[in-house]
Amino acid sequence: MAAPTPAIIKLCSLLLLLLLVCGLFEQPKTCEAGESFACNPKDAVTKDLPFCRATLPVQDRVRDLLGRLTLQEKVKLLVNTALPVPRLGIKGYEWWSEALHGVSNVGPGTKFGGDFPGATSFPQVITTTASFNASLWEAIGRVVSDEARAMYNGGVAGLTYWSPNVNVLRDPRWGRAQETPGEDPTVVGRYAASYVRGLQGNDGNRLKVAACCKHFTAYDLDNWNGVDRFHFNAKVSKQDMEDTFDVPFRMCVEEGKVASVMCSYNQVNGVPTCADPNLLKKTVRGAWRLDGYIVSDCDSVGVFYNSQHYTSTPEEAAADAIKAGLDLDCGSFLAVHSEEAVNKGLLKEVDVNNALVNTVTVQMRLGMFDGDRGAYARLGPKDVCSPPHQDLALEAATQGIVLLKNHGPSLPLSTHRHHTLAVIGPNSDVTLTMIGNYAGVACGYTTPLQGLGSFARTIHRWGCADVACANNTLFGAAIDASREADATVLVMGLDQSIEAEFRDRAGLLLPGGQQDLISKVAAASKGPTILVLMSGGPVDVSFANNDPRIGGIVWAGYPGQAGGAAIARVLFGITNPGGKLPMTWYQEEYLKNLAMTSMDMRSNPSKGYPGRTYRFYKGPVVYPFGHGLSYTKFILSIAAGTAPTEVGIPLAGRHRASQINTTTTVDSDNVKAIRVTHAKCSRVSVSFDVDVRNVGNRDGSHTLLVLSTPPAQDWAPHKQLVAFEKVYVPARAQRRVRIKIHVCKSLSVVDRFGIRRIPMGQHNLHIGDLMHSVTLKPATFLGLGVIKS
């Protein structure tokens, strides 16, 4: 969820104050510790009403409740600060809470203090994604939901969390890159589904907490070159929508079973996302079958009325949003204008009912109308910031660190040779920087300086007063320290003053004089110089990569509360780095004449348009997507006889009899393709085994990234990730990994009309240095898949 700007916050606060003064709203009474939200078993008036009977089907309970509400009461439930209905024993509820990488206090639904002074702060999402470990992502979700439930039981948090952010990182300058799982739609979707499963639990239709995938859709610009997210109209082709922007949201809904989707501020092709029935009703709820509610980004309805001037009256805006499929407004707009929209005939009360069915159903699935705390009542202060939770934060930070360069090798450092360390840089002893944005109050911090200090004596110098590094006043002391120490660690990079919500970056270089400081320290250093970078988005550090005096480069992202300990453990070899970059690190030159407002993913050489992400850009880079080194060496081989060379695609129903017509020519290279909707997708996959052999002397984890180059080259991606697996391999040992590729999902591509097709012909699968080719063909008229090894 996007935090509103100060101006919007002020406007909404004034409006709510006015409403309170005028008596139009009651001050919400929310649950205190141990209180029931509704259906208090001690309330003789309500305890036996049908909507309070947990044994009845949820839909019957919802129908009963809505039948008891007046229109005036209903419209007050359409907003995040939902007001109480005292006559029915229902307390007020604040829907807006955040849990991007730990329970956060960004939204008003969560407050720290008393028995809950903090919560476990995991690495920022972009860092955790670099682990390429889906089981880790789900485990973090489980811990976060434990802590969220504990805080709810303590009366200081809600149960609806507007996380995760599953927008694809299209442009490296985006200030919110840190919140995303990177640039590959499949990785973003896999992260979304995994984290959501962890948050929501596995108790059938019951919810531990309700997650929310945001911001739908084509949202990845905050404030660039005079264009902001409140006024931006993203012009997106059907092709890019289907094969890039929609993919993570679809996976989040269909595979993660998320309980909510948030629409974004921007317009898509001239229509505000929160007023677009094709996006909300037809796609999210219709095609993907969302079982939950759709919420607006904060004041989005007000934005498309006041800033985008999409409707002539506020009542029209309220009606358009609700009829498009919006169920809940983060803001006050729907509470203020929906009743009048009904009175003017722009909206029907049944439309309001339909919205409330979706929100109240989620509350009932959470157990909020059951009169007790349910299965999670045992959770309390002891379950927040517990040692196992904090250990997982350290493990996540360690797995997310990426070794970008190791010349010599210079890493790992040795406690026997490197007794003193010069620890230099504006991020060398930071706390809040490590947890990034949308964070809460951490349990505690281990800074890089503290972490490194547990392995060697440190000489600490800032070098720059802050990441802006506006002058060289502190350079001299830093250079002197590097001359004295056995090794030098520079902790540089970015922070929220450079990249953040509503703050897109101007370029990809390190700010101010950071590059100059790094080069001068490296030239003077007595021992090896190691550069550690904190950032969310990529940084052009070509100078450091090409400088032989800089022995190692490590990207730590924003590593969370235990970041300093994780960095130290990697630099001293306690842990073998295994992270891989979830985004391309471009050169600064890439941005030349590339507007953030240009949404096209594919390159256009005739216009000098380079294309975006590794799937469509083939130019020079600093580090490619998936890059990451190790302290050991892995050798890969495909197990003999396990990999098919031909796979037949069985056709469904009537398409078997018209097989020739089903395969359509889709590009200038005369490549044939079968529409995914014409294939029996559940019956066809490509599976094989990969042997991963660790030939080094250190245990380590290796990420298998399987990329496919499809045959349809003039409109398909140059390559696309089709599978990934993480495997731990002890030194001098071997592990076998099973790879399974779903043909319809992973080997299909999207044509210019937005239709997903499976190209016939040779698909080249790349796994590290290996390549294996598999040819896809229409199956026999019997409709049976044919696989040849």
- Residues tagged active-site: 297
Element spanning 198, H or E: helix 185-200
Give CA–CA dist 170/611, Å, rounded.
10
- From the list 286, 280, 290, the residue with the least C-alpha distance to 254 is 290
Residues 602 and 160 sit within 8 Å (Cβ to Cβ)? no
Residue 753 burial (10 A CB sphere; 0-12, 13-18, 19+): exposed
As a dihedral over the C-alpha atoms of residue 676, residue 682, residue 688, residue 691, rounded to 10 degrees, the angle is: 110
Give CA–CA dist 446/320, Å, rounded.
50
Amino acid 675 reads R
**Tokens at 43, concatenated:** 């309330």
Question: Cβ atoms within 10 A of the Cβ of 86, count?
Answer: 11
- Please provide residue 233's backbone torsions phi and psi, each rounded to the nearest 5 degrees: -110, 105
**Tokens at 349, concatenated:** 């009360």
For 380, half-sphere exposure in the C-beta direction (CA atoms, 13 angstrom radius) is 7
**Tokens at 371, concatenated:** 């009169």
Look at the block and give the residue holding tokens 């149960």: 159
Give CA–CA dist 182/194, Å, rounded.
15
- Please provide residue 275's backbone torsions phi and psi, each rounded to the nearest 5 degrees: -125, 15
Give CA–CA dist 635/767, Å, rounded.
11
Give CA–CA dist 257/193, Å, rounded.
8
- From the list 770, 745, 748, 744, the residue with the least C-alpha distance to 759 is 748
- From the list 768, 713, 779, 767, the residue with the least C-alpha distance to 743 is 779
Residues 258 and 252 sit within 8 Å (Cβ to Cβ)? yes
- Please provide residue 98's backbone torsions phi and psi, each rounded to the nearest 5 degrees: -130, 145
- From the list 521, 444, 437, 443, the residue with the least C-alpha distance to 476 is 521
| Residues 29, 34, 39, 41, CA torsion sign | negative
Q: What secondary structure does DSSP assign to 224-259, as a single string?
A: ETTEETTT-EE---HHHIIIIISHHHHHHHHTT--S
Task: Give the three-class secondary structure for 509.
Answer: coil
Strand pairing partners for 82? 93
Cα distances (angstroms) measured from residue 234 to each of 217, 218, 436:
9, 7, 27
For 246, half-sphere exposure in the C-beta direction (CA atoms, 13 angstrom radius) is 23
Give CA–CA dist 701/516, Å, rounded.
35
Give CA–CA dist 381/395, Å, rounded.
22
Task: Strands of 387-526 (E only): list them.
Answer: 402-406, 420-424, 457-461, 487-493
Give CA–CA dist 100/164, Å, rounded.
5
Strand pairing partners for 8? none
Q: How many helices (H) and strands (E) does the chain have?
A: 22, 31
Element spanning 216, H or E: strand 213-216
